[in-house]
Amino acid sequence: MAKLRAAIIGCGFISPAHLGGYAKLDQVEVVGFCDLLTERAEEKAAKFGAPGAKVFSDYQKMLDEVKPDIVSVCTENNKHCELTVAALESGAHVLCEKPMAITGAEADKMVAAAKKAGKKLSVGYQLRYTNEAMLLRREIEAGKLGKVYYAEAAAVRRRGVPTWGVFLNKEKQGGGPLIDIGTHLVDRTLWLMDEYSPIVSAVGNVYDHLIPLGGYNNGGPWDIGRFEVEDSAFGAVTFKSGATLVVKATWAANVKDVDSSLSLLLGINGGAELNNSDLVLNGESCNHLWQYKPEAFHNDESPYDREIAAWINAVENDKEPIVKAEQAAHVVKVLEAIYKSARAGGTAVTY
C-alpha cells in the first residue's frame, strides 16, 4: 500500500515531536520540509526525511509541488490559521500545533475550511495521551464521577518563561502563559469533563508584575525589553450546562511547586485530581470516604508518539480524530473570553 506523504511547515523546537512520531510509523514518509529559515528545514529533512525529500521556504510552493496527504503546522500561533487553511485547500489533512489559533473567529474559519475541503483537522494536545489522563477519561466514561459541575485547569510554573522563539511577542503568539500552556490544561480538563456547551460568561485578569524583576528562570534569563505578554493569568468561565471552570496559568509566580499541570474535577458521584502524573479519585460510598490511586504505570511510551499514531489512525481509517477541531476551537474561545475580560479591567463578559 502507498505510504501517506507528510509535510511540515515550521521546523523549530516542537517539530521533532511530530517528525519523530511519523518516523516510527512504517505507513508514513515525510517528503516536504518548510521553514522561513531554510537551514532548519534542511537539518530536519536530513534527519527525518524520506529519500528525495524536498526543502522549501515558501509553504504554498511546497503544497503545490509536493501535494502532501498530511501536513503538520508547527509555526508560531498567528500563522496557524493561514497555513492550516492553505494546506486544507491544497487537499491535505492537517495536524496543527496548539493553540489552534489566537481568536475564535480564526478557529471557526479553520473548522469551516476542513468541512469544505472534506479533510481532517486536529490539534496537538499531547496531554490527553498520558497514561493517567487516558485512565481518568475511561473512569469518567464509566460513570465514576457522574456529572462534573466544577473544574480547575491550572498550568502553573514557578519560573518557567520560554526564552526561545517568539513566545514573548504579543502579535505572534497572542498572549503569554494563558494561551501557551493554559491552553493544554483547558483542553484536557474540558475533554475529561466533556464540556462543550456554549460559554455564558467569563471573568479574568492578567498580570505582568514579575516580568520587570528578572532574576532566576529555569531556561535562563528572559529579556525584559522583549516581554510583551502577561506572566500570569487567572479566570473563571461558566457554561450553558451550568458548569464552572477556573483557569490559572503562569510562567512566573511565587508558588511552591516548580511546575504543575492540574485538572481538578468535581462530579456528583466523585472527584478527581490529576496533577502532573499524580492521579487521585475520591468520593463517598457505603458511608465511607474513599480515595483511589492507580499503581504507577510501567508504560512510558511518549504522549507525542501516541498523538501522532492516533492522528495517522484517524486519517488512515477515516475516523474522527481524538482531538476534534471543534473542541480545540472551543478552547480558543474560553481563552479569548478570559483575555477579553482582562482587557475590560476584569469585568465580566457575557455571551
Ligand X SMILES: NC(=O)c1ccc[n+]([C@@H]2O[C@H](COP(=O)([O-])OP(=O)(O)OC[C@H]3O[C@@H](n4cnc5c(N)ncnc54)[C@H](O)[C@@H]3O)[C@@H](O)[C@H]2O)c1
* Site of interaction with ligand X (CB under 6 A): 9-14, 34-37, 40, 59, 74-77, 79, 97-98, 124, 126, 164-166, 180
Minimum CB distance to ligand X, residue 94 (Å)? 13
Q: Which one, 177 or 283, has the nearer CB to ligand X?
A: 177
Peptide bond preceding 162 in cis form (omega within 30 of 0): no
Q: Which one, 145 or 332, has the nearer CB to ligand X?
A: 332
Minimum CB distance to ligand X, residue 57 (Å)? 7
Report the distance separating Cα 22 and Cα 6, nearest Å: 8
With contact defined as beta carbons under 8 Å apart, do 193 and 151 qualify? yes
Report the distance separating Cα 54 and Cα 50, nearest Å: 9
Extract the C-alpha cell encoding 165: 522563539
With contact defined as beta carbons under 8 Å apart, do 36 and 165 qualify? no
With contact defined as beta carbons under 8 Å apart, do 48 and 26 qualify? no
Q: Which one, 16 or 294, has the nearer CB to ligand X?
A: 16
Minimum CB distance to ligand X, residue 56 (Å)? 8
Query: Alpha helix locations (H) across 101-153?
Result: 104-117, 131-141
Q: Which one, 56 or 239, has the nearer CB to ligand X?
A: 56
Minimum CB distance to ligand X, residue 231 (Å)? 17
Q: Which one, 166 or 255, has the nearer CB to ligand X?
A: 166
Minimum CB distance to ligand X, residue 340 (Å)? 20
Residue from 270, 267, 265 nearest 285 by CA: 270
Beta bridge partners of 33: 8, 55
Minimum CB distance to ligand X, residue 233 (Å)? 15
Q: Which one, 77 or 238, has the nearer CB to ligand X?
A: 77
State which residue has the least CB distance to ligand X: 12
